[in-house]
Structure 1
Amino acid sequence: MVDIMQAQRIMDIARKLVRNKKYRNHIIRRLVQETQRAARPPTSTRVSEEDVKFLSSLKIGFVGGCELSFMKEFLEANSAQVYHTFDHNEPSNPFLAFSDEKSGLYSFNPSVIIVSDVQDIRNYIFDIQHGATNFTKQEEQLKQARNRIMNGINLARKKLSTVFVIMNYPLAIRPAHGRFDYKHLSNAYSLREFLRHLDLLYFEMSKQEEDIYFLSIDESFLSAGVGHQIREGDADGIYEHLTREGAVTVAKDLIGHLKVIMGYGRRIKCAVIDLDNTLWDGILRDDGVEGINLHQNRLKALELLTKRGIVLAISSKNDSTLVPLIDEILGERSKLFAIKKVNWNDKAQNLREIAQELNIGIDSLAFFDDNPYERDQIKTFLPQILVLPDTEIIHALNRLDFEPIGKLTEESSKRTMMYAQQAIRESAEKMYFDKESFLRACEMRLWMREVRPENLGRVTELILRTNQLNATAARYTNEEILDFYRSDDYKIYAVNLDDKYGEYGLIGVALVHREDFKWTMDVLTFSCRAMGKTVEQTFLTYLMNEAKKHGAKTLVGKYIKTDRNEAVEKIFEEAEFVRSLGKNEMVFWEYNFDERGIPKYPDWFEISK
């Protein structure tokens, strides 16, 4: 059916070229224009070396019409492997494209697919511009648009494990009924209204489906300035096409989207802020509280970063006696800062201590300071840290480095509070002479169970964020975790902890591959907040019990050594697992509980399931 449609389409175009002189001249004129511009088209623009490296790791599928061609050209020129259904005379309609089991898209096996429904949406735009529609018809059209994409994606999911990015309609608004068309079209959505409804539909689909994302062309244009983003040579208020400049603008925005979706690049876990002439104008020691001017916008931007799970800290060269004044200036927002290093120590020393106290890698820190000397010193002695001037605080919300890792969870926004609770625990621990007495006094409650759908976001976040207690440093996206969750061959287990000081949240994850007599942990990872409480060994005991219930006799852990995860080896050693070497730096740690029995749970935990 699809092959017949493609052949018919080619024949129709050929007939039109032969019989219609105006159409033939139009095509010739367009070919001349494109040839002239091809000497150095904007799509030959090179992106950064980092982006080229990232793109070279991707296989990008494009499902749609010619509106995607220039984007494909740009990404292909920058090392991405690309397959565009339009280039192979396959349907532009997403449902028909995904319905074709012989489509080259399936053998290409893309890691991400860009979906455009522009060709069919144009018919709806035509109806609006010609006043030939109404609310009932448009609601049906919106339903059709949703079904075309969702039904197509559901077909693709049967053959591919990939991510889908829906691109919206590239239209420079030229309303046939005037700029106030929404007032004149009383029985139908105006052009702007319909496109907004369409965008909301795409947002809804992306919100409900773990493997679907939305790329808004409007936002891409806003970031670049609309300029010459839409081609005007053949624009008529219905047919709209990206120029090469527009394609580059949208494609660059797409690269940013894909980096976040794929978890590519560094992610900041803690932002460290200077105070004088950074968080406020003036020098507190000299000007006093009355003489400084707090940058409320910067403080608000930092507060918003905490919603992403980013911890805030202060490093300021000042007398420690000024801390009460600093708290007074910041007011309630003083609680946003988990650590305050207010002293005359070298700032490099302060930053090392902050990373150590939070138990995170030094490369997870960002440092904001107005002083070029301080910035250069950190760049020299701690080059792993992201160093930025004070003016960049407000722009952190748009930087990829500060994007959340995985799906935001309730625990993400509580991270500062959790670190404050941890400081109280560490202070209390100093009052005890031995570790076990302190652990019993903490009144710890442990929940261990198979994960539920609502836990998957936090599971992904923990796998992507954790370096020190990650047995293989494996990184999986939301979509891959969802595939494991749906699989009969795998189980995902999680551990939660709280005590009398507060909640730790979900702090451990195991992704287990089940075989008849052996369970293998492809992923074993813990939050650094779990360290020192024997949560890790207790979780391994729980997994042995679960494996035994299903007839297994051994529990195996995979381990690949990195420069950050030596602590995992110690966990296996203390749990008395037996070490053996595998291939390609893989190490296996095995415990035969059928022969050796299963250890008991420590008595300082109240165990729940």
Structure 2
Amino acid sequence: MSVADGFDPDGVKCVVWDLDGTLWDEIAVESPTDDLPAPRPATLAAIDDLAARGVLSSIASRSAPSVLDRLDAVPGLRARFLAPQVSWQDKSESLRRIAEELGIAVEALVLVDDSPYERAEVEALLPGVRTLDPADVPALLAAFEGREITPESRARVGRYRTEETRRAEGARFRGSREEFLRWCDMRLTVGAATADELPRALELAARTHRLNSSGLTPDRLRELAAADGHELYTARMTDRFGDYGIIGAALVDRGPDTPGVRDGAGTASATWAVPLLALSCRVAGRGAAAAFLFRLMERAREAGAEEFRVTLRPTDANLEMRILLRQAGLRRTDAAVPGPADASGAPVARTAPAEAAVLGRTLGGDVPGPPAWLHVSDREDTEA
């Protein structure tokens, strides 16, 4: 698939590079010495340009595994690649492993390979993966021109490297998974988004799929976040290995009244509605998504809300989010999908992505708490 064929750079999280004929001109296993072939300067520049935009790079090469050992001996080159795969296995299998190790959907990968056969094999077995000839790389870079680069984007590659360290420590840890998570000393802070956090929230809306409740577009999120009665919340996380940055965003619709909204008869309904809940896939499996959701529910109750609702648009990718919402006690309601009010405060027609539904629950009784290994606080408290 060429860059011109419906290419969406927002969906690209990692570019996977072939080695022989792509990263360098020669065939590494045929080298008379242990030195690797010299990488093409333009390709290295492209990898660095992508990294500055928050796009990861990896390797999928059908070659002797010893080539990866030789790559490890060149730290400046090896550091550019995450979860590299060098073996005689099919490229499609290598891409599956890369996606699994990085914790991203395989459809978020792009393969750059000089071999038409290898590209065809991947397209046949992984039809959601785009494949490019090395000659298409300039067009790939051009597709990202004009896209806003957030601080989170610039830090993304470094954070994935930290994740490699975290994963390695987990493999060496002597104890249960929960004991390891406790040892990590994970801390989540939740608070109202500041103006400089809005670009990251828009990025989460566009780039996350596994932990995205509604698929709200960035433009629609920006519009709703500026509407009366709405507030955007973000979640940050750290652990003993470093700072994850902003890993979650949630848009809350409290309507024209505070804390609740009013129905057409003017009766206070005291409802917090969440048109979008989105979290980075980097925190999947650590309880952060549940902790963020539960803290929003607690804040809603503290503000006087009696009901909590989330807009859900089921997709093939967001099963994890659907399970989370069900575990939190949210069930389908007949309520209208959340949206803004007009200038007078009267409700207006509310729109949502196709097949969207509203899940809700009352806030009476117990609200689930965060996992025992995750410390949760409000950002306002930590900054006081």
One of 228, 242, 249 as aligned partner of 1:509: 249
In 1, distance between residues paired with 2:56 and 2:100? 14
Aligned to 2:181: 439
CA contact (8 A) 2:25 2:37 kept: yes
In 1, distance between residues paired with 2:302 and 2:283? 26
CA contact (8 A) 1:472 1:558 kept: yes
Deviations 1:78-110 (A, max 9, x none): xxxxxxxxxxxxxxxxxxxxxxxxxxxxxxxxx
Q: Which moved more, 1:423-432 or 1:371-380?
A: 423-432
Following TM superposition, by how much is the alpha carbon of 1:371 offset from its aligned partner in structure 2, in angstroms? 1.6
Matches within 5 A, 1:49-88: none
SS at match of 2:282: helix
What are structure 2's unaligned runs of at least 5 residues? 261-269, 337-353, 380-384
Establish whether residue 379 from structure 1 lines up as the match of residue 123 from structure 2.
yes
Following TM superposition, by how much is the alpha carbon of 1:565 offset from its aligned partner in structure 2, in angstroms? 0.8
In 2, distance between residues paired with 1:581 and 1:501? 44
Q: Which has the higher helix share?
A: 1
Aligned to 2:307: 554
Task: Read off the aligned partner of 1:606 and give its amino acid letter.
Answer: H
Aligned to 2:339: none
From the superposition, tell whether residues 483 and 371 of structure 1 become closer, same or farther in structure 2 (CA, over 3 Å): closer
CA contact (8 A) 1:491 1:511 kept: yes
Deviations 1:208-230 (A, max 9, x none): xxxxxxxxxxxxxxxxxxxxxxx
SS at match of 1:503: strand
Please report the RMSD computed on the Cα atoms of aligned residues, expressed in angstroms.
2.5
CA contact (8 A) 2:291 2:376 kept: no
From the superposition, tell whether residues 581 and 532 of structure 1 become closer, same or farther in structure 2 (CA, over 3 Å): farther
Establish whether residue 590 from structure 1 lines up as the match of residue 360 from structure 2.
yes
From the superposition, tell whether residues 567 and 600 of structure 1 become closer, same or farther in structure 2 (CA, over 3 Å): closer
Following TM superposition, by how much is the alpha carbon of 1:338 offset from its aligned partner in structure 2, in angstroms? 1.1
Aligned to 2:61: 316
Establish whether residue 293 from structure 1 lines up as the match of residue 38 from structure 2.
yes
SS at match of 2:92: helix
Deviations 1:404-450 (A, max 9, x none): 8x632112122222222222323333435433212211111111000
Task: Read off the aligned partner of 1:499 and give its amino acid letter.
Answer: D
CA contact (8 A) 1:276 1:282 kept: yes
In 1, distance between residues paired with 2:218 and 2:222? 10
Matches within 5 A, 1:371-450: 371-398=115-142, 400=143, 402=144, 407-430=148-171, 431-450=173-192
Following TM superposition, by how much is the alpha carbon of 1:326 offset from its aligned partner in structure 2, in angstroms? 1.7
In 2, distance between residues paired with 1:320 and 1:50? 34
Following TM superposition, by how much is the alpha carbon of 1:573 offset from its aligned partner in structure 2, in angstroms? 2.1
Deviations 1:111-161 (A, max 9, x none): xxxxxxxxxxxxxxxxxxxxxxxxxxxxxxxxxxxxxxxxxxxxxxxxxxx
In 2, distance between residues paired with 1:497 and 1:544? 19
From the superposition, tell whether residues 590 and 322 of structure 1 become closer, same or farther in structure 2 (CA, over 3 Å): same
Q: Which moved more, 1:302-311 or 1:598-607?
A: 598-607
Establish whether residue 489 from structure 1 lines up as the match of residue 229 from structure 2.
yes
Deviations 1:34-89 (A, max 9, x none): xxxxxxxxxxxxxxx978xxxxxxxxxxxxxxxxxxxxxxxxxxxxxxxxxxxxxx
Task: Read off the aligned partner of 2:58 and give its amino acid letter.
Answer: A
Deviations 1:287-330 (A, max 9, x none): 1455733211211111111111111000112222222322345x
Deviations 1:469-510 (A, max 9, x none): 111112122xx4444333331011010111111221111111
One of 369, 382, 387 as aligned partner of 2:113: 369
SS at match of 1:412: helix
Aligned to 1:306: 51
Following TM superposition, by how much is the alpha carbon of 1:577 offset from its aligned partner in structure 2, in angstroms? 2.5
In 1, distance between residues paired with 2:73 and 2:25? 16
SS at match of 1:418: helix
One of 288, 307, 310 as aligned partner of 1:535: 288
SS at match of 1:313: strand
One of 363, 375, 379 as aligned partner of 1:606: 375
In 2, distance between residues paired with 1:387 and 1:493? 37
SS at match of 1:277: coil
Matches within 5 A, 1:256-275: 267-275=11-19
Aligned length: 344
State the percentage of identical aligned residues. Answer: 29
CA contact (8 A) 2:10 2:207 kept: no
| Larger-Rg structure | 1
SS at match of 1:393: helix
Task: Read off the aligned partner of 1:342 and give its amino acid letter.
Answer: V
What are structure 1's unaligned runs of at least 5 residues? 1-48, 52-258
From the superposition, tell whether residues 333 and 292 of structure 1 become closer, same or farther in structure 2 (CA, over 3 Å): closer
Deviations 1:144-199 (A, max 9, x none): xxxxxxxxxxxxxxxxxxxxxxxxxxxxxxxxxxxxxxxxxxxxxxxxxxxxxxxx
Aligned to 1:352: 96
In 1, distance between residues paired with 2:135 and 2:293? 47
SS at match of 1:332: helix
Q: Which moved more, 1:277-286 or 1:481-490?
A: 481-490
TM-score (norm 2): 0.82
Deviations 1:262-296 (A, max 9, x none): xx676321100011121111111111455733211
Task: Read off the aligned partner of 2:57 and give its amino acid letter.
Answer: L
